[in-house]
Amino acid sequence: MVVGDFSKEADTIVIGAGPGGYVAAIRAAQLGQKVIIIEKEHVGGVCLNEGCIPSKALISTGHDYVKTLSETPNGISYQPAKLDFGKMQDWKNNTVVSTLTKGVRSLLKKNKVEIVEGEAFFTSANTLHVMQGEEQGISYSFNNCIIATGSRPIQIPNFEFSDKVLDSTGLLNLKELPERLVMVGGGYIGMELALAYANLGSKVTVLEGMTSVLNAFEKDLVKPVLNYAKKVGMEIITNAKAKSVQDQDAGLKVVYEVEGQEQSIEADMLAVVVGRRPNTDNLSLELAGVKVDERGFIPVDQQGKTNQAHIYAIGDIVAGPALAHKASYEGKVAAAAIAGDAGAAVDYQVIPTVCYTSPEIAVVGLTEAQAKEKGMAVKKATFHFAGNGRALSKNETEGFIRLISEKESKRIVGAQMVGQEVAELIGEVTLAIENLMTAEDIVLTIHNHPSLGEAITDTSEVLLGQGIHQ
């Protein structure tokens, strides 16, 4: 290995150009820092290139396609639909993802952030080295550093990733639609992709080790998703431990165990989506003196500072949910702290979580049970989309909105939603909770008619005992 015999200097170096890293780099530059951002694979990170964005493109195509396969009540008759899977993948990769990747590069350039491609590792608390190929590299010194290296899929024993045993990235980049797909893992990523492929026409089987899929959500939120999965022919096997996979002439043989009994299923492709682990093990953090916990996460304070006060960490490599919007938020806080804003701190009340299944699930804040565990006296109210004019006119009436409020103050403390497009509604309730708003505040805010958003007003009225449409 030839190590570069010169170094470059920067006020702030950001390692990782995902939704946390590139946002942090731009904000730091806006605040007057000379910034270098280092990315070893793709600008935009996993979210833009291999996760959030391409998966939603696949999901949207599946929604459009499956609608053509059944009769509609509104007088539209479809000819037999034809899916060009290759063309869909080309659109996803070369239009959707490419446009956004170029956009991020353009934003970094606009803000005078230098992009360095290569793999970074620390050589001391104030220096790092970037390998560019096997024998070339550049050394850098910095005053501050933000680590935003994200996470990667967990690989389980006896399921080594290959061209047929896939992680989520491989599943998103198939060249042909698999006739039979087995998904190991029924969390939110697994179920999103399982339903997307079921909508596109694959016969999908989900093996989930716990008692139910989407185990992080309340059962009544999951029930409409299970009903839809059954409708499109998905099979979900719970309490199933994946044991092994064999490549045979007829395809893959997947062996799993349920209640002590081994069973098997054949598939053309198998995807393992059982969680992710932080990318902190190849950074030589010990040479920078940065502490890491037993799970590979980096402990930080409210500004994102590690035990080395000039080195920050954000996103999937720190505690909390592995969500792109959380990483972006933390990146802005870290950049502000580096610029000298003593008041910059992670101080959000809540983080919304959305599962882009069919139908979508969106939650924020406390459930009724969680509020009661905290000793809070609360009220809850539910309004079903079947009573919403816009939902009826779209023929998408499955699901409901539930709001949780403090009984005495009427302050909103939580929301749970399931239905089409609830991902676009959860932000309003997040804003309400973040600003300590009450059910009365929502009711006194005029919502346009007809809209799905009116259902938030209707739910708030029910909370106040003033329900009109229910």
CA separation for the pair 444, 464 (Å, rounded): 12
DSSP one-letter code for 324: H
In 235-347 the beta strands, taken as DSSP E runs, fall at 235-237, 240-248, 251-258, 261-267, 269-272, 276-278, 311-313
Annotation-wise, does 230 bind a ligand? no
CA separation for the pair 388, 348 (Å, rounded): 31
Annotation-wise, does 151 bind a ligand? yes
Establish whether 447 is a catalytic residue: no
Annotation-wise, does 187 bind a ligand? yes
Which amino acid is it at 459? T
Q: Which residue has the tokens 């924020």?
A: 364
Q: Which residues contact 110 (CB under 8 A, 6 or more apart)?
A: none
Annotation-wise, does 185 bind a ligand? yes
Annotation-wise, does 191 bind a ligand? yes
Annotation-wise, does 419 bind a ligand? no
CA separation for the pair 428, 385 (Å, rounded): 17
The pair of three-digit structure tokens given for residue 167, joined into one six-digit string: 């992680």
Closest to 355 (Cα-Cα) out of 124, 160, 187, 212 = 187
Which amino acid is it at 59? I
Annotation-wise, does 149 bind a ligand? yes
Which amino acid is it at 325? H
Provide the 3-class DSSP secondary structure of residue 147. strand
Crossing angle of helices 21-30 and 98-110, in 10° steps, is: 20
Query: Which one from 325, 447, 449, 469 is the annotated catalytic residue?
Result: 449
Helices (H) and strands (E) in the chain, counts: 15, 22
Full DSSP string of 162-190:
-SSEE-HHHHHT-SS--SEEEEE--SHHH
The pair of three-digit structure tokens given for residue 57, joined into one six-digit string: 């493109």
Annotation-wise, does 189 bind a ligand? yes
Annotation-wise, does 376 bind a ligand? no
The pair of three-digit structure tokens given for residue 367, joined into one six-digit string: 């459930």
Annotation-wise, does 60 bind a ligand? no
Q: Terminus-to-terminus CA distance in the chain, angstroms?
A: 71
Question: Alpha carbon of 85 to those of 73, 91, 180, 264: distances in Å?
Answer: 28, 10, 15, 28
**Backbone angles phi and psi of 382, in degrees to 5:** -130, 140
Annotation-wise, does 331 bind a ligand? no
**Backbone angles phi and psi of 337, in degrees to 5:** -65, -40
Annotation-wise, does 188 bind a ligand? yes
Binding positions are: 56, 149-151, 185-192, 208, 275, 316
Residues designated catalytic: 449
Binding positions for NAD(+) are: 185-192, 208, 275
Binding positions for FAD are: 56, 149-151, 316
